[in-house]
Chains A and B, each alone.
Chain A
Amino acid sequence: DAGVTQSPTHLIKTRGQQVTLRCSPKSGHDTVSWYQQALGQGPQFIFQYYEEEERQRGNFPDRFSGHQFPNYSSELNVNALLLGDSALYLCASSRAGLGYEQYFGPGTRLTVT
């Protein structure tokens, strides 16, 4: 049973560029959430996707956008990158109707220079 997978593992971008991160949920899961984790801090909720729509959003600017595909996989897009966007980006999946238990992937480490 494959867990949550994310790609790429690491990424280095320059200020002002755009980036796309990808996530495949755990088998049987239909809901995907994205988090930003700065060094030494807890994960910060970005948004959640269910049935290909954004269901809930945290306090992140519109530069952060996402998409969910019919196979439940998801992408996180960040435009006009800032140095402060450097962080570990985590994807978590869950199954609607089965409580709130989320399972996390290993994350994508984004460095903006």
Chain B
Amino acid sequence: GQQLNQSPQSMFIQEGEDVSMNCTSSSIFNTWLWYKQDPGEGPVLLIALYKAGELTSNGRLTAQFGITRKDSFLNISASIPSDVGIYFCAGISGTYKYIFGTGTRLKVLA
């Protein structure tokens, strides 16, 4: 099935460091969503973006809707151990079909 490309695939960082990850697509999307999934649980919505160029924050998390509408970025500032998990982007086109990314696995070293 179709999936969006996320990078990096995985990353180890030190506690307190900032983290950046992105999501790219060959298709245009009208909405971008970012989720975090912990082992054995469903994804939890972090941020929703509805407009090209939009920059939205949720606590230490900041996400941007790329101006080309084909990409999105997520930044986590001052990472803490509980930031560990898998981060997924999801794009939505004009239909109700949600396309998820391949995921970025984040591990934080205390």
The residues of A with any CB-CB pair to B shorter than 8 Å are: 4, 33, 35, 41-45, 48, 50, 55-56, 58-59, 90, 92, 99-107
Contact = CB atoms under 8 A, between A and B. Distances in A.
Contacts of B100: 35, 42-45
B42 A59 contact: no
Given A41-B3, A44-B100, A106-B40, 18 more contacts: A4-B42, A35-B98, A42-B101, A43-B88, A43-B98, A45-B1, A48-B96, A48-B97, A50-B96, A55-B96, A56-B96, A58-B1, A92-B42, A99-B50, A100-B33, A100-B92, A103-B45, A104-B44
Interface residues of B, number: 26
Interface of B: 1-4, 31, 33, 35, 40-45, 48, 50, 88, 92, 95-103
A92 B35 CA distance: 12
A55 B96 CA distance: 8
Contacts of A103: 45
Contacts of A50: 96
B31 A100 contact: yes
A59 B102 CA distance: 17
B70 to A, nearest CB: 17
A55 B94 CA distance: 13
Indicate the member of A56, A90, A99, A100 with the most B CB atoms within 10 Å: A100
Nearest to A105: B42
A39 to B, nearest CB: 11
Contacts of B102: 41-42
25 contacts: A33-B98, A35-B100, A41-B3, A41-B103, A42-B3, A42-B4, A42-B102, A45-B98, A45-B99, A45-B100, A56-B96, A59-B1, A90-B43, A92-B42, A99-B31, A100-B31, A100-B33, A100-B48, A100-B92, A101-B48, A103-B45, A104-B42, A106-B40, A106-B41, A107-B41
